[in-house]
Structure 1
Amino acid sequence: MKILHIINSLTTGGAEKLLLDTIPLYRKAGIEMDILLLWDNDFPFTKKLKELNCCTIYILKKSNNFKDIYSLSHILRIRKIIKEYDIAHVHLFPTQYFAAVANMGVGKKMIFTEHNTTNNRIKNKKYKLIEKFCYAQYNKLICISNEIFDIYNQYLGLGNKSVVIQNGVDLDKIKNAYPYGKMDIDKSIQETDILLLQVSAFRIQKDQDSLIKALYNLPKHYKLLLVGDGERRPELEQLVKKLQLDNRVYFLGQRMDVPELLRSVDIVVLASHFEGLSLASVEGLASGKPFIASDVPGLHEVVKDAGILFKDGDEKELSDIILKLGENSSFAQETAQKGKKRSKEYDITKMVQKHIELYKSIYEA
């Protein structure tokens, strides 16, 4: 049984990180699995996967322009490559559309994982017929949460094509990570500073803006680390400059030492407008530090009664929560312990086993 994962790229993002973490585990379990990227620009996740030397990596376009993801020429190249595989497992838009068209007349079995609770297409009725056509090309739709399952079955009426398999995190990697000294992260950071951390791509879906604005309302010894990259980075850097927070906000870029950073800070935050089942939220809960997240679809279900939720876009409420955690160590410790307990529900090994069972059932059908 040969499986080909197909995804836009291995730049910053939960779906991308998931493939980096799981492909070696599938290979270890005896599943022959490779990956096809529409676009790459020597991203750290791609480099790391190459270093592991555990699979073939197809790259259709190498450039510094992310818009190359949308090149229609990808369809013919996908069509040629998937012929060598038994199952194509597809992630994200526009790969979802390209792979569906590429497989027409080829007849390979296909799986699509829906990683988000919403997108611009689901909000626009003009796309519904196109969406129905594309989803119809897949043998199975994996929904990474019950919320996504309900939304897409109501939206497209997919019936028994849909299955819920929650994403997972390598909890041992976080548990065993050795924390840095704060001054080792940056010499301008003092050990007495309260460090906040958000790990997420700089995309319109995310809401680093509210976190930066919340920092403006906090004492000067509260400082923020932003891990990730993306098209909104210049806009966020401009916001930091406007609020005169240059010496309190640190743009760390895409990092491969996220477990160590999680263990090194005081509070982990994920401000976002919507999610699927956010791996960053599970990692935040698992970090042993108090975790705060926006009260939005894809985060509410994971974080409620474990971390602390704040109203989407409400920087005042967010700053109040951060201040309470920073000043009340017993409250912070209690919140952190609840998070660690919840994170155990999202162990990556459970997810991998369920995916393998699904692959086998589709392959043998």
Structure 2
Amino acid sequence: MKILQIINSLGTGGAEKLMIDTIPLFNEKKLKVDLLVLNGNETPFFKTLQQINCCNIFPLGNGSVYNPFLIFKIIPYLKKYDLIHVHIFPSLYWVALAKMISFSKTKLIYTEHSTSNNRRKYFIFKLIDRYIYSFYSKIITISSEVDNNLKVHLGFKSNRFEIIQNGINLETIKQTKPIIKTEIALNIKKDSCILIQVSSFRYPKDQKTVIKSLTHLEDNIVLLLVGDGPLKTECEVLADTLNVSERVLFLGIRMDVISLLKSSDIIILSSHHEGLSLSSIEGMASGKPFIASDAPGLGDIVRNAGIIFPINDEIALAKEIQHLLNDKTYYHETVTNCIKRAKNFSINNTIEKEIHLYKSLLQPIS
């Protein structure tokens, strides 16, 4: 069985991280799984997968992922694999159109990673989406909320969809060691309290609310922001405007995220909506209390394990942070509940369910 995964790039993001975590495991299970990226910039994720040397990586260039000529570059690959598994828009569109133009019989799977997107606001895109998604034999949704929203949007029969939750490597997280606080950055001291958010700087992520919360917290509380993206500059300007720039450290893309999580005192994910956030699950598995905004696709994962605060409410967030720091019993109870919740999201379950789906689609019809 030869499978080709296709994604826009290996920049930051949960779907991109999933490629790094799952492709080596697929190949360990004797599946031949390769990766095609529309944009082949050598990001840290790209270099990591190269170093693992578990699969072929096919970059289609270094230009815009929105270039429709990528359709013609995709077509030759449709003939070389038994099944194509696609992630993220616009890969979703380009692969479907490549199949249409080439009359390829290769079966397609698409994984929907988000509860919502801007296309769903417009009726014309509802019609276009219905056409594009019709080329996919199966649509994987990563949570019940993602599943319900997409079914309403497309109006397809339920048997076209399958819920397979994203997962994390719990054993790797358990074995990873923290970094000594003072080695993370020069202005972090032994008595500093570290908050951390790991996410790209693009909507729907909401680092701004976390930055604003610092104005309601003690000066020894610092914030690590891991990731990159188009909204990073706005966040840097905000930190400077609020006079907290010395307490906000922009660390960029890091490959030692788990070590940073374990070095921090509180882990936060402020967002407007999510699909099934791997960052949130890694945060809950790290042995530190996890706080999340009550956003679609995020609140339901964290509720009754970690702590929830209202979207855009920096004052409520600051109060929750202070409560954790002042009440050690509450702190440790939250940690225990988070670790217990994270155990429901093992990457091994994700792998087994996807392999089963692949085999079911490739079985000859009797």
Does the pair score TM above 0.5?
A: yes
Provide runs of 4+ in structure 1 moved above 3 Å: none
Equivalent position of 1:178 in the other structure: 177
Q: In the TM superposition, what is the alpha-carbon distance from 1:156 to its structure 2 partner?
A: 1.2
Q: Does 1:233 align with 2:232?
A: yes
Equivalent position of 1:359 in the other structure: 358
Write out aligned runs for 1:75-224 (5 A): 75-104=71-100, 105-159=103-157, 160-224=159-223
Residues in 1 aligned to 2:86 and 2:265: alpha-carbon distance in whole angstroms = 37
- State the AA in 1 paired with 2:321: I
Equivalent position of 1:254 in the other structure: 253
Equivalent position of 1:39 in the other structure: 39
Equivalent position of 1:9 in the other structure: 9
Residues in 2 aligned to 1:153 and 1:212: alpha-carbon distance in whole angstroms = 36
Output the TM-score relative to the length of structure 2: 0.97
Q: In the TM superposition, what is the alpha-carbon distance from 1:40 to its structure 2 partner?
A: 2.8
Identity of counterpart residues, as a percentage?
Answer: 46
- State the AA in 1 paired with 2:5: H
Residues in 2 aligned to 1:86 and 1:41: alpha-carbon distance in whole angstroms = 27
Q: In the TM superposition, what is the alpha-carbon distance from 1:289 to its structure 2 partner?
A: 0.4
After superposition, the C-alpha distances for 1:264-316 in whole angstroms (9 at most, x for unaligned) are 10000000000000000000110110000010111112101000011111111
CA RMSD between the two structures: 0.9
Unaligned runs of 5+ in 1: none
Q: In the TM superposition, what is the alpha-carbon distance from 1:50 to its structure 2 partner?
A: 0.3
Equivalent position of 2:24 in the other structure: 24
Residues in 1 aligned to 2:339 and 2:164: alpha-carbon distance in whole angstroms = 21
Residues in 1 aligned to 2:343 and 2:302: alpha-carbon distance in whole angstroms = 13
Q: In the TM superposition, what is the alpha-carbon distance from 1:80 to its structure 2 partner?
A: 1.2
Equivalent position of 2:48 in the other structure: 48
Q: Secondary structure at the match of 1:112?
A: strand
Residues in 2 aligned to 1:247 and 1:18: alpha-carbon distance in whole angstroms = 33
- State the AA in 1 paired with 2:154: L
Q: Secondary structure at the match of 2:58?
A: strand
Q: In the TM superposition, what is the alpha-carbon distance from 1:107 to its structure 2 partner?
A: 2.0
Residues in 2 aligned to 1:82 and 1:250: alpha-carbon distance in whole angstroms = 44
- State the AA in 1 paired with 2:52: L
Residues in 2 aligned to 1:61 and 1:242: alpha-carbon distance in whole angstroms = 39
Residues in 2 aligned to 1:124 and 1:86: alpha-carbon distance in whole angstroms = 35
Equivalent position of 1:269 in the other structure: 268
Q: In the TM superposition, what is the alpha-carbon distance from 1:41 to its structure 2 partner?
A: 2.2
Output the TM-score relative to the length of structure 1: 0.98
Q: Secondary structure at the match of 2:81?
A: coil
Q: In the TM superposition, what is the alpha-carbon distance from 1:69 to its structure 2 partner?
A: 1.1
Q: Secondary structure at the match of 1:274?
A: coil
Residues in 1 aligned to 2:26 and 2:301: alpha-carbon distance in whole angstroms = 25
Q: Secondary structure at the match of 1:103?
A: helix
Q: Secondary structure at the match of 2:149?
A: helix
Equivalent position of 1:298 in the other structure: 297
Q: In the TM superposition, what is the alpha-carbon distance from 1:62 to its structure 2 partner?
A: 2.1
After superposition, the C-alpha distances for 1:20-68 in whole angstroms (9 at most, x for unaligned) are 00000000001100000011321000000000111010111125xxxx1
Residues in 2 aligned to 1:354 and 1:208: alpha-carbon distance in whole angstroms = 33
Equivalent position of 1:279 in the other structure: 278
- State the AA in 2 paired with 1:296: A
* Count of aligned residue pairs for this structure pair: 361
Q: In the TM superposition, what is the alpha-carbon distance from 1:91 to its structure 2 partner?
A: 0.4
Residues in 1 aligned to 2:329 and 2:190: alpha-carbon distance in whole angstroms = 20
- State the AA in 1 paired with 2:266: I
